[in-house]
Amino acid sequence: MSTDLKQVNKLKKNSRRIDNKTEKKFVERLIKISRVSKVTKGGKKLSFRAIVVIGDENGQVGVGVAKADDVVNAFKKAKTDGHKNLIKIPITKSLTIPHRVTGNFGACKIIMRPSIEGSGVIAGGSVRTVLEVAGIKNVIAKQLGSDNLLNNARASICALANLTTKSQITKKRDLNLN
């Protein structure tokens, strides 16, 4: 009986090890850390705001924003906020987006177009960071309107959320016909 108990414990240990390996590795990229102050009766209260993009470089990406009294805590809180806002996007075999798409957030407008293999990510600012963390390697993007880093990152997330594949469109058409 004691050998059976040892084998069960060994299985439990191994299963925990396997669970740790199957967890997805997320890449975190810091877009901006800004020092913000709040004026109160006693004076100014300083804190830090972090904007972080996280993704698995395989079609999942999210943007997180958080404030805290120090930079490390702001980064951690923004990272957890990014995990809450993850979206799944379709990527083609040539590591680009399936079709042209636009995204709006506030005064920002992002236009994204698929590009041929080998062209790389042609984008600027936070849009480039979002696309790289998402795992898109060949795309052309243009940001219009505001140059606010947070709004541009959120507009690019809105654009990527609007992406669809051929199979999704045919499913919708089949449902509408029935």
Instruction: Dump pLDDT digits (tens) for 30-43.
Output: 999 999 999 999 99
> For residue 160, what pLDDT band results from cuts at 50, 70 and 90?
very high
Q: Which one is predicted more confidently, 18 or 145?
A: 145
Q: Give the pLDDT score at 177.
A: 80
* Phi and psi at residue 176, to the nearest 5°: -70, -35
pLDDT greater than 70 at residue 127: yes
pLDDT for 79 equals 95
Q: Any idea where the domains of the chain sit in the sequence?
A: 27-84, 89-165
**CA dist., res. 51 & res. 66, Å (int):** 7
State mean pLDDT over 134-144. 95
pLDDT at 103: 95
- As a residue count, the chain comes to 178
The helix, strand and coil proportions of the chain, stated in percent and rounded to the nearest 5, come to 40, 35, 30
Q: Inform me whether the pLDDT recorded for 24 exceeds 80.
A: no
- Decide yes or no: CATH 3.40.50.970 for domain 89-165: no
Q: How far, in Å, are 32, 83, 151, 172 from residue 177 at the CA level?
A: 48, 37, 38, 9
The 10s digit of each residue's pLDDT in 60-77 is 999 999 999 999 999 999
Is the pLDDT score of 88 beyond 60?
Answer: yes
Q: Could you tell me which residues are beta bridge partners of residue 61?
A: 55, 87
Mean pLDDT within 112-128: 93
Instruction: Please report the pLDDT score of residue 157 as a whole number.
Output: 95
E-only strand ranges, 106-160: 108-114, 121-122, 139-145
* CATH of 27-84 given 3.50.50.60, 1.20.200.10, 3.30.70.20, 3.30.160.20: 3.30.160.20
Q: Region 133-141: what's the mean pLDDT?
A: 95
Q: What is the mean pLDDT of the chain?
A: 88
d(CA 48, CA 146): 22
Crossing angle of the two packed helices 149-161 and 125-134, in degrees rounded to 10: 40
Q: What is the pLDDT of residue 18?
A: 52
